[in-house]
Structure 1
């Protein structure tokens, strides 16, 4: 049963996307921004559009579906073993939702699988998987829960960035472990990226724990 083995899917995701990160998150041109009400990104209604988020980089990625993930995971089981995965968060439910949204295109103001921005992605995952309600914007989300030091991150913690270089939170993702986080990037859609990427190292601001890890 796929859902009962989702913990084994974590190594698969991190293995596959660590290979493809350079395609989607290797430079500032591929950064993920949550405009939080500013800028000229296209919104969910198609208004005020000067740019449509590109998803061309996604087409080159390994095709992932629920039918082949389990088979792949069996050969990669044990790829990740870390204390980062301890805690009370329901990892099965969280990863099930992350997998559902993988490769969903980015859309500023979007809240569905047709297109979703970074804060809506996190809001959706946390609510649907854990029943925890979060505010709509990344800035508001950054004030929920308890602060966490970067070297103490655990699965399910929210990580925040100043991608717009304005001295405040403008992007959010969810920490998965081993230095990786899931997020919706403005040029990549929903992917898994590395906190060790130069861009995310420079723009990292803080982390919050909202799930009782």
Structure 2
């Protein structure tokens, strides 16, 4: 028992000592840490399970029916305590614009579909080219950015 305490104290001292050797300057890469990405992925999975198969309804904002921007707004509010605008146009101005190859878990993906009140659609990037959204035909579902339709109508991505 005492040997374990001494060993643990030595390890803690070594960690603190090494911490003093690190640089105090930080380099901003605008990338989320691995732990942040894991937390975001787990939260998105929990939110998806709560909303899965909820039907699409233009102007809807509940489990009886929801549209794409309300789905994104609710997931961010309930899962991350982040308040986004209610409309796709408003959400398309939130955060910072990023390129498609910079996508990380939790980023917003936007499409010019020509459907709906303004012709725009929004979803939340999950990983490996997949995103969750409220589809007009399938309700809340997963889709692939590599699908020919979504490739054709992809507009922009944003990090909030």
Given the two structures, how large is their TM-score scaled by the length of structure 2? Answer: 0.74
Rounded Cα–Cα distance in structure 2 between residues aligned with 1:116 and 1:181: 17
* Equivalent residue runs for 1:176-195 within 5 Å: 176-195=126-145
Instruction: Measure how far apart 1:94 and its partner are.
Output: 2.5
More strand by share: 2
Q: Which runs of 4+ in 1 moved over 6 A?
A: none
> Which of 104, 129, 135 is residue 154 of structure 1 equivalent to?
104
In the alignment of these two chains, the number of paired residues is 127
Task: Report SS of the residue matched to 2:36.
Answer: coil
Rounded Cα–Cα distance in structure 2 between residues aligned with 1:145 and 1:135: 11
* Equivalent residue runs for 1:19-168 within 5 Å: 86=34, 88=36, 90-91=39-40, 92-164=42-114
Rounded Cα–Cα distance in structure 2 between residues aligned with 1:206 and 1:86: 24
Structure 1 regions of 5+ residues with no counterpart? 1-82
Give me the CA root mean square deviation. 2.2
> Residue by residue, what CA displacement relative to the aligned partner does 1:163-189 show, whole Å, maximum 9, x if unpaired?
007xx7610000001000000011110
Contact 1:94 1:130 in 2 (8 A): no
Name the counterpart of 1:202: 152
Larger relative contact order (Cα-Cα within 8 Å, sequence gap ≥ 6)? 1
Given the two structures, how large is their TM-score scaled by the length of structure 1? Answer: 0.56
